[in-house]
Structure 1
Amino acid sequence: MPKRPDPLFEIPRPAAFTEPVLDLLGGVARPRSLSGEEAIAALARIEESARQGDPEAEAELARRLLTDAPNARSNRRALILLRKSAQQHSPAGLHLLALLHLRGQGMKKNAAEGVRLLEEAAYMGNASAQTDLAKAFALGIGVPKDEGKALYWLRLAAAQGDNLSALRTGRMYRDGDGTLQNEGEAQKWLEQAARSGIPEAQFELAELLRRRDISARDIPGARRWMREAAFSGIVEAQLRIGIASWSGAGGAVDQREAVRWLCRAAEGGSIKAASMLAGFLMTGNGLPMSLPRAWTLFCWAAERGDGGAQATARIIEKQLTDEERADGEKLLREASPRAMLESLIPRSDR
């Protein structure tokens, strides 16, 4: 039985077939997905160009063969196409052929040859090859491990607009991997990735701006990027922006906004957010006071390892009626975190 290809180096999926359409109102061209018939016609044009020996068309056709339900037959045809494309020094063809060597797909695995082909494509300016070459140096695959060279290739890819490479570059400068720590460079690359909409970059940029030395700290900027990460669904960011809204760090105090974000974080599983909301319910600060609701939330946090919540729940429990305790226990048994929060803190209170 043939071995499965090594998944460490993935074949990049081809872009969807689109065509630019002028937006008469906005005055800019926007992509429009092609219909089924139009997509088939576009693929036929790629096939014809590949038959005529166009190296870029050969590489593109091979990419589609390798990613659209690949099998032994399509692998063999893709390999033939990529060898022809690589012989004509197509960066895309060299990159994809390198990946087949690194993955062991359609051929015997050969990491050294894969890295050689990656280097050739990377020196020709192929950003995807630069990113994969950085991975090879970072992990020591086919070459000695060298984080400095990994950073070099990541920077080149990031400078060409590869935003995931920008995220990794920012992390390396932040942590001092393969280079001296440099918060200015870290901020530059993390900001590029954050502006492209990568949630992890938005969160990590916010953390960098919040934690750096006092003279360079940017609390309003940190709050702005943390808010972007929170909107992107990062639970820890939702917790942090809730705390910032409550305390006024980096902006105005907004208790309702704080409760809203803490609820979202708690629905996502944040124990700390649930404990804070329970505290609001216990004291009547930020939410209408309700010991039964506070007890239920403290119990939920305690079940997930919050020792302080467990101690507080025991104190409150002595003040509850049997009916109030039974209602809370039913919620804890039967409701999802989202349903429980909806019941304990209605939308009108957020």
Structure 2
Amino acid sequence: MDWLHDLLARDVLRGLGEWSDHAIRWIATFFDQQSKPLATLSAVITVLMAVATVLSWLRRRLAVARGAEARLLLSTPTDSATLNRYSARAVTVLGRDREWGELLRFLKAESAFCWLQLAGSGGQGKSRLALELIDQAQGKGWVAGFLDVEDIRRFGDGWTKWWPDRPHLIVIDYIIGREAEIKPVLQGLARRARLIRRRRRGRVRVLLLERQRWDRGGIGGARHAVGGADPAPAIAGEARAEWFIRLAEHHDGSDAVLMESRFERGVIELCKLDQAALVEIVRAVARQAAPAPEPMLPDAALIAEQLARIDGEGRPLYAYFLGQMLADGGKNTGWQRDDLLAATLNREQGARWRRCLGEGDLPCLGDGSGAERMAVLATITGGLDCVDAVRRGLLSPLSSTLRRQVLVLVDGCLDQCATGPSHQIPPVLPDLLGEWFVLSAFDKGVAPEELMDRAWRLAPRATAGFLQRIVQDFPEHPVTALLLELAPPEPPAWEALVEAASTILAHLHRARRPFPEQMTRALIAAAETGDGRAMSNLGVCYHTGQGLPVNLHEAVRWYRRAAEAGVGRAMTNLGLCHERGDGVVADPAEAVRWYRRGAEVGHGRAMVHLGVHYSTGQGVPQSVEEAVRWYLQGARAGDGRAMALLGICYQGGQGVARDIDVALDWFRRGAEAGDCGAMVSLGVCYHTGQGVPLDLRMAECWYRRGAEAGSEVARQRLGLIQSETDTARPEVAALGVEDIRTSQPNFTYIQA
């Protein structure tokens, strides 16, 4: 029986369950202890059959476990020579200590399986932080890396059978457009979490990288929860991103298994990096990019001023761009965003072209070359498989020379395969630079119609995702409007655009851009399918005349349909209609009823309106304390106006003890969440020296931000401070509840 003992000692049987070990040991002992022949032939046959059954079962389990694990491939990007790539690690991660601490806690959590999303607008450093976490995990013996769609497809249905024997960190980047492939990963692991824990196997962590928070509508349009608290409970469909709804088991985005397996709140959002960290990034990148000797750089104040002019969101990627321009000897102190992007793109592509292809004809944007066109197509679709595109009749075969030129433009891998350079063309990265490359190519002369037609046919969801990103990052670019007007060529493409319509229109609204007719048609199509979010947004369009003629009765009808579908934002808008008499008879009590319904499902702005009614006594008994309670709930739900109103209460001692420091904190939080009233109130504090040193420059800055966000009150205060002199300084009054309420429209607009 030595062979059986040898089998037990092999590594291949480790991790297949304790009961199977006991079974085989019992059989081995049975044979070892027989000192005389077995009494009957039937006993021999019985034992042999038992052995065969156990070993057959073990072979099957071993094949499943070994086969599944062998096919799970996680990749770690190689160090890049291009400083703008996150894998270049040009400088250490700065200014993200809090977020890094949360990621380490995620890694160390006791649960067998949990997931977490890293969110934030393009250029905030999501992929870089994920790469640092991968390094940390690998250093502790974990299997860690990025999981791409091709590896998911190769893994097949292994997620329902997989028994990891080591801890795994799986990072998945770019969810939008790939939900169908990613859903089995998340669902399979979440449903096997208890089995993995019971078997005491390796822990599994899944980190999702996507701009759009799973628990908020709108790419990058999220507001923060207050004090680290969980957002107020929200109904499914009201506070679930579309991509998350597609990952869930239910059409409305509610999924108990996914909620149970998330780590804490399920999201870490990367926000504006502080000024000192951004300046340090500029200096560090400039030192790396410049040839010796070390470049002469502007002082920190001038660098900070340039960065603020280039990008108001404090994104480290723009600091990388600026550092390289300064390293090249750029003396321009008036860099604008578009100038910086164009210079960075030309610098990168020109340097790679000279390095790889010599000093021949250098590419220029809009030259219409085959290489440029294919690079544009690959960037729109998130990557181009030339073999697949040729097979589907969407491309003619690309020569080796052309493929090599395209790969140089996009900074792809130039390693040769059997048929020459790779047939897999990646997009231009990082995202912001890729988006600018596409917009610039079309703006300089490349015809968009044919390439967009091919993009829609090749990858409809990825193309819709690209449109969402350019509307977020470059809403004012003329090419953005042009691309939104190009009709998708076939039903799958139209369906993808319909699904993206609300998010696209939300970004257009925030940027105060007109709604293209085609996007309005897509919104109507989405509403007619029963999409609650689209129904609510269609009501807004009829209410405000954005993209459609004003029709208050139609607005109320669509709000009501959306409210019946459980959309809290529609309930709030119905309350506004009843409060103002828009399309219905004015009725404060009915308005309060709808606000209360919206508040019950977690809509922050409904809580704000309910608080204001308690403050004024309209439709309810007046109670300043009850008003403060609702403002606080609204602030916890992430509503910036609720934060501004809480600041007013603490500033004036209304319903709470007067505390100017607490008031300032709420004003700052509200301003960061985008509320105009909070911005004006901060400006007033600096204008009058309340709680802060008197600083007219800071006051003007906050008034200007409020004015740029659309506040008439802010515009008036800006004019006031600009007309002041040392001898003539008019009295400046703090804002009240009604001022905050009217500092920008009360209406809750397009929901992304």
- The TM-score range, normalised by the shorter chain, is 0.5 to 0.7
- Cα 1:76–1:191 shift into 2, 3 Å: closer
Please tell me the residue identity of whatever aligns with 1:228.
M
Residue of structure 2 aligned with 1:109, choices 572, 586, 589? 586
Aligned to 2:485: 37
Count of residue pairs brought into register by the alignment: 219
**Other structure's SS at 2:578 match:** helix
**Other structure's SS at 2:726 match:** helix
Residue of structure 2 aligned with 1:62, choices 539, 542, 545? 539
**Other structure's SS at 1:177 match:** coil
1:49 pairs with 2:491: no
Residue of structure 1 aligned with 2:557, choices 55, 67, 80? 80
Aligned to 1:151: 628
Please tell me the residue identity of whatever aligns with 1:230.
E
Tell me which moved more, 32-41 or 106-115.
Answer: 32-41
In 2: Cα distance, 1:73 partner to 1:266 partner: 35
**Other structure's SS at 1:273 match:** coil
Aligned to 1:273: 726
Please tell me the residue identity of whatever aligns with 1:95.
T
In 2: Cα distance, 1:146 partner to 1:61 partner: 35
TM-superposed deviation, 1:123: 2.0
TM-superposed deviation, 1:22: 2.6
Residue of structure 1 aligned with 2:681, choices 201, 213, 231? 201
Aligned to 1:135: 612
In 2: Cα distance, 1:25 partner to 1:201 partner: 39
Please tell me the residue identity of whatever aligns with 2:473.
P
Higher relative contact order (CA 8 A, sep 6+): 2
Contact preservation (8 Å) 1:194, 1:205: no
Please tell me the residue identity of whatever aligns with 1:24.
L
Please tell me the residue identity of whatever aligns with 1:273.
D
TM-superposed deviation, 1:175: 1.2
Superposed CA deviations along residues 74-107 of structure 1, whole A, max 9, x for unmatched, are: 2222222222222222112211111111111111
In 2: Cα distance, 1:266 partner to 1:56 partner: 41
- Cα 1:57–1:143 shift into 2, 3 Å: same
**Other structure's SS at 2:473 match:** strand
In 1: Cα distance, 2:564 partner to 2:652 partner: 40
TM (norm. structure 2) is 0.26
**Other structure's SS at 2:632 match:** helix
In 1: Cα distance, 2:485 partner to 2:606 partner: 32
Contact preservation (8 Å) 2:520, 2:547: no
Aligned to 2:569: 92
- Cα 1:265–1:73 shift into 2, 3 Å: closer
Tell me which moved more, 145-154 or 188-197.
Answer: 188-197
Overall identity of the aligned pairs, in % = 20
TM-superposed deviation, 1:116: 0.7
**Other structure's SS at 1:105 match:** coil
Contact preservation (8 Å) 1:199, 1:232: yes
**Other structure's SS at 2:431 match:** strand
1:172 pairs with 2:649: yes
Contact preservation (8 Å) 2:608, 2:641: no
TM-superposed deviation, 1:26: 11
Contact preservation (8 Å) 2:614, 2:624: yes
Superposed CA deviations along residues 127-168 of structure 1, whole A, max 9, x for unmatched, are: 221222222111111111111122222223333443333222
TM-superposed deviation, 1:118: 0.4
Contact preservation (8 Å) 2:624, 2:655: yes
In 1: Cα distance, 2:617 partner to 2:531 partner: 34
Residue of structure 2 aligned with 1:189, choices 666, 682, 689? 666
In 1: Cα distance, 2:530 partner to 2:671 partner: 40
Superposed CA deviations along residues 264-290 of structure 1, whole A, max 9, x for unmatched, are: 9998443x62469xxxxxxxxxxxxxx
TM-superposed deviation, 1:120: 0.9
1:23 pairs with 2:493: no
1:231 pairs with 2:701: yes
In 2: Cα distance, 1:73 partner to 1:164 partner: 26
Please tell me the residue identity of whatever aligns with 2:631.
L
Contact preservation (8 Å) 1:190, 1:205: no
- Cα 1:207–1:32 shift into 2, 3 Å: closer
Q: Which runs of 5+ in 1 are unaligned?
A: 1-14, 213-217, 235-263, 277-300, 302-350
- Cα 1:273–1:26 shift into 2, 3 Å: farther
TM-superposed deviation, 1:211: 5.1
In 2: Cα distance, 1:93 partner to 1:32 partner: 28
In 2: Cα distance, 1:149 partner to 1:170 partner: 16
Contact preservation (8 Å) 1:49, 1:57: yes
Contact preservation (8 Å) 2:559, 2:570: yes
- Cα 1:138–1:24 shift into 2, 3 Å: same
Q: Which has the larger radius of gyration?
A: 2
Superposed CA deviations along residues 181-212 of structure 1, whole A, max 9, x for unmatched, are: 2334223202223555854232344378x556
Contact preservation (8 Å) 1:130, 1:157: yes
Please tell me the residue identity of whatever aligns with 2:697.
R
Contact preservation (8 Å) 1:199, 1:229: no
**Other structure's SS at 2:551 match:** helix
**Other structure's SS at 1:144 match:** coil
In 1: Cα distance, 2:720 partner to 2:565 partner: 56
TM (norm. structure 1) is 0.53
Contact preservation (8 Å) 2:588, 2:618: yes
**Other structure's SS at 1:120 match:** helix
In 2: Cα distance, 1:178 partner to 1:267 partner: 31
In 1: Cα distance, 2:474 partner to 2:558 partner: 29
Contact preservation (8 Å) 1:266, 1:273: no
Alignment root-mean-square deviation, CA: 3.8
Aligned to 1:344: none
In 2: Cα distance, 1:275 partner to 1:84 partner: 55
